[in-house]
Chain A
């Protein structure tokens, strides 16, 4: 067998047993997300509560994982969402080394079921599976836990751990691995509900691929001709001699004179890394400076990232004064919003050695605290919620906290720039006995708890920035090609995390060139000028579908959707045209099966139809259009001085949005009235059993 290992590991925490089964019946779902979702459908009945022992955690990788394909280090953890409306299926996508270690231990998926009667951790070393006592680890931070399990097991082990937030059943809690990488979606709470402190993998087996020569050739092709930087930005952030274009917001930030300033042995210049120099790809993304600003250069040790990823989007920094000043290590690695952490809870920063280093220290402190406590920010929603409750001189905070609780917090630290205020707040947020705990349950539940004082404003506010009242944060929504970006958000039961569209609009290439390349794929009118959008059309619906399709494909096979697909190329010799057939070529080379773009699209769409049907079953309503896909009011009310379709806004038009839904539903073969898959659509993808269940429960569109 090539690509897949053929093995599912089942671990039952209730009776502390494990077994190995064949994974072959799930190959139609590719792997990763698709496989994990189907297992969840097969084994977790609709209506199950997220924290019930009957809920499961499915950790899955795909055929590409650990194959050597660039960016193939990601992993999916599926479960029932604890933090969004309906508690429907949700996936956490995590980087690091977990996928590599789990796959080389011999597993396509691990199913964790039941509930332990005391804290445990699971240790998997190839065929050896042990459920070990974790009583001594309960209460420990994620870093301490990782260190302790590594010491107890074997060097090189990969530890996936929850912190006190997960133990205390905070909805917005995560798992952490490698100290830096987070799996969100509230998965930490599900670990905690099962008294599962951690799972650790150590694999020593090979991943067999069908055609190693073809795989090597594909890797060379991608590395030389297709890959850019993080988010597949294909032009550098500053003019460089080899490049025709530049874009200040590009994540291709490496440049002559910009160094990893705190590198071992002295500063390392990131230099120019033009296409065709694969060994220099890792210097393209100088993420520390991109995320934190120029002050971060002198503290940058290196760029790091996930197993098998050449992009290195994680900024590893070391700030020596953190230890003495704030009592924590100044060594930290993270990326994107994770690098913000909870820093903006503090309204002023105090510089220490250089101008701007106070804000940098705040970010590192906030991110470190979140990671250590295993708290997940829901793409910034938790911070937005806290600031919402603290505005107007703490008006709402005073209403929800007891007087004793309010007075026990030293609020003056916030304005004085004392970073320990962040820790103070986190310790309240994860304390089930503190009223602030309610603010870490996700916006949907915050609104449910406090709707009497919040009214309708909070959940639909621009300050909160949800894509919809379901509770998922807008994550590359209407700011990314208007209707197209927002359509990619509504599929999920959390923030969208779909990067296919924003990778295109943020590529750095000029608009007319992007448009030319995309219209060949999706038709005229698929891409609007930035902040100057036009009414919905069929080409946009196809582009939006493509966005979702590739994301689900990447999460299933697995490749990183923060880099893929290769829609564009950095090579001017190719006129910047990427190659969208590469994923199918990888699947063929790795599995030995004959995959085409069309057959892979079909398998991918099966996964999406499954996900939609599972959401309907868990929601208990067929009316997805009204109950699930409804978007926040601010989407239609932002920029009050502008009207929809006017240059300079992405404020959507209500009627046009309904047209967008119609067209999007048609692309997927869904009933236009409800947005639910028809029987014909489900049967087309071999999901007859699910159609039968939907019909039996009255959840099939008329």
Chain B
């Protein structure tokens, strides 16, 4: 079964082995770096790679290798490398270690657009599971937003046409969260949140 993962931005990803590809040390150096970052739960932006070229690769060789990962002509070592398109950059990761869902999340984080990140996560949670996104999700790994930042996001979203579906609510114990009106009505969201944040913790 194929799941629709809500509103997280979809991006093409490659990674099928290309048996015709040739080994080269530049590719090995690139994959070593990308894998190391992936193991640290991080996607790697193209801009970052160009800023600090991996190993012996020059700019042209790096761009050539990266373009091959996108059009399925990558050398075998790069066969596990995939990418997602962010708003501000293209991000690469080892798909044997990281899921595309997480790569999309980290791309949002790397883009450093907190409103877009929060909206994407909230819309996805509301549609996919369905559930309200508690602040604690966004204040924890891998987002590490502060409570004040999230309150600021909520205030700014009210004024931005692009985020009119996002609402902030509170459970009866004061815990805050966001949901999207695109998938949940206000009363349904309130009941889901009350169940998650009050009833279940009291009845584990």
Contacts and interface: CB of A to CB of B under 8 A. Distances in A.
B101 A529 contact: no
B141 A255 contact: yes
Given A647-B187, A649-B191, A244 B99 contact: yes
Interface string B167-204: 00000000000000000010110111001100110111
A239 interface: yes
Contact of B1 (A247, A257, A511, A513): A513
B97 interface: yes
Given A516-B1, A530-B130, A238 B191 contact: no
A531 B195 contact: yes
Nearest to B93: A241
A513 B3 contact: yes
A241 B1 contact: no
A648 B185 CA distance: 9
A567 to B, nearest CB: 15
Contact of B141 (A238, A379, A465, A506): A238
B102 A511 contact: no
Interface stretch (B74-82, B132-140, B145-153): B132-140
B134 A240 contact: no
Contacts of B134: 248
B188 A647 contact: yes
A479 interface: yes
Given A257-B141, A647-B187, A648-B188, A249 B196 contact: yes
A650 to B, nearest CB: 8
A572 interface: yes
B188 A239 contact: no
Nearest to B204: A336
Given A239-B142, A530-B195, A244 B98 contact: no
A247 B137 CA distance: 9
Contact of B98 (A241, A513, A530, A639): A241
B38 interface: yes
A245 B195 contact: no
Interface string A233-253: 000001111111111110000
Contact of B136 (A248, A256, A475): A248
Contacts of B195: 479, 530-531
B28 interface: no
A479 B99 contact: no
B30 interface: no
A244 B101 contact: yes
A664 B134 CA distance: 37
A479 B199 contact: yes
A246 B5 CA distance: 12
Interface in A334-358: 336-337
Contact of A648 (B129, B136, B191): B191
Task: Select the residue from A511, A532, A648 with max chain B CB neighbours within 10 A.
Answer: A648
Contacts of B27: none
Contact of A511 (B5, B129, B190): B129
Contact of B129 (A240, A243, A475, A510): A510
B119 to A, nearest CB: 16
Interface string B38-71: 1001000000000000000000000000000000
A256 B144 CA distance: 13
Contacts of A639: 191
A516 B41 CA distance: 30
Contact of A647 (B1, B38, B185, B200): B185
A575 B2 CA distance: 9
B129 A238 contact: no
A374 B136 CA distance: 36
A512 interface: yes
Nearest to B144: A257
Contacts of A506: 200
A242 B101 contact: no
A476 B200 CA distance: 9
Contacts of A475: 203
Contacts of A267: none
Interface residues of A, number: 42
Contact of A479 (B41, B102, B141, B203): B203
A575 B1 contact: yes
Contacts of B97: 241-242
A139 interface: no
B157 interface: no
A239 B141 contact: yes
B110 to A, nearest CB: 14
A648 B190 contact: yes
A261 interface: no
B190 A238 contact: no
B201 to A, nearest CB: 8
A499 B154 CA distance: 37
A511 B183 CA distance: 13
A380 interface: yes
Interface string A461-477: 00001000000001110
Contacts of B128: 510, 512
A240 B102 contact: yes
A125 interface: no
A575 B1 CA distance: 7
Given A248-B136, A337-B204, A479-B199, A240 B1 contact: no
A528 interface: no
B105 interface: yes
A510 B3 contact: yes
Nearest to A251: B204
Contacts of A649: 191
Interface in B104-139: 105, 128-131, 134, 136-137
A249 to B, nearest CB: 6
Contacts of B203: 337, 379-380, 465, 474-476, 479
A379 B204 CA distance: 9
Contact of A248 (B99, B102, B137, B202): B137
Contact of A241 (B99, B129, B192): B99
A379 B5 CA distance: 37
12 contacts: A240-B141, A243-B101, A244-B101, A246-B137, A248-B131, A337-B204, A512-B3, A513-B1, A531-B188, A531-B191, A532-B188, A648-B190
Given A243-B99, A249-B196, 17 more contacts: A238-B137, A238-B140, A239-B105, A239-B142, A240-B41, A241-B38, A245-B101, A248-B131, A248-B134, A255-B141, A380-B203, A465-B203, A475-B203, A512-B128, A531-B192, A647-B191, A649-B191
Interface of B: 1, 3-5, 38, 41, 97-99, 101-102, 105, 128-131, 134, 136-137, 140-142, 185, 187-188, 190-192, 195-196, 199-200, 202-204
Closest 9 pairs between A and B when the two form their complex, measured CB to CB? A648-B191, A241-B41, A241-B98, A336-B204, A238-B141, A648-B188, A244-B101, A647-B188, A510-B128
